[in-house]
Amino acid sequence: MKRMIYSLLIVAVAMWGYSCGESSTGNGDGDVEAIVGAWVSEGATHVALGLQQLSKTARIDAEFAENGTYNVVATDSTGSEVTFTGTYELGEETASGIRTITLTQATPSSVTSEGIFQIESDMMTYEVIQTEPTVGAEAPTVEGGFGSTLVGGTNYGTYWVQVFEKQ
């Protein structure tokens, strides 16, 4: 159960700032995606409420590399850490600035999470949820915006939305 909750965390790590002119297209011309770099989500107003309640998550340190890999360390309220690694794929930029993200987690267990994110300056709003193996959740959509994750057909609003600050 704890691994599933932490996997949901990765999805929630789906949850970052506003996409703006600083975000690149990643077109191979030397542009770097705005998500690349180190991000931290910490505290009651930044870590998704779902993660705080279900896994006692207090802090998330996320590193998105230019080569499409990620490393995330989730720390709970007792100081216990779990590290997640895998690859990520970004969707195209939209007029709203919200983009899709798919995370293919390799460790500590193999799961796929999907969601949306938006980056503005050094803040990222991020909402993701595990979709494979299924946990009865439907990923948020660009059209639905933040708070559009469905679990068991029910929308819990911003329960899975979190905010990261670029380091």
Q: Report percent pLDDT > 70 for the chain.
A: 81
Q: Is residue 94 pLDDT above 90, yes or no?
A: yes
State residue 32's pLDDT score.
Answer: 82
Tell me phi and psi for residue 33, to 5 degrees: -60, 145
State residue 25's pLDDT score.
Answer: 36
What pTM does this model have? Answer: 0.82
- The mean pLDDT value for 105-116 works out to 98
Q: Is residue 159 pLDDT above 50, yes or no?
A: yes
Residues 159/165, Cβ–Cβ less than 8 Å: no
State residue 19's pLDDT score.
Answer: 31
State residue 1's pLDDT score.
Answer: 47
For residue 100, CA distances in Å to 2, 56, 146 come to: 26, 26, 11
Q: Is residue 81 pLDDT above 60, yes or no?
A: yes
Q: How many CA atoms lie within 13 A of 149 on its CB side?
A: 33
State residue 14's pLDDT score.
Answer: 37
> Could you tell me which residue, 6 or 99, shows the higher pLDDT?
99
Task: Identify any residues that bridge with 153 across adjacent strands, giving them in sequence order.
Answer: none
Domain boundaries, the chain: 2-24+31-166
- The mean pLDDT value for 85-100 works out to 96
- Predicted confidence (pLDDT) per residue in 22-72, tens digit: 344 343 445 689 999 999 999 999 999 999 999 999 999 999 999 999 999
Q: Is residue 73 pLDDT above 90, yes or no?
A: yes
Q: How many CA atoms lie within 13 A of 67 on its CB side?
A: 3
31 token code pair:
């542009």
State residue 30's pLDDT score.
Answer: 52
Banded model confidence at residue 21, pLDDT cuts 50, 70, 90: very low
Average pLDDT of every residue of the chain: 87
Q: Is the dihedral of CA 29, 143, 164, 154 positive or negative?
A: negative
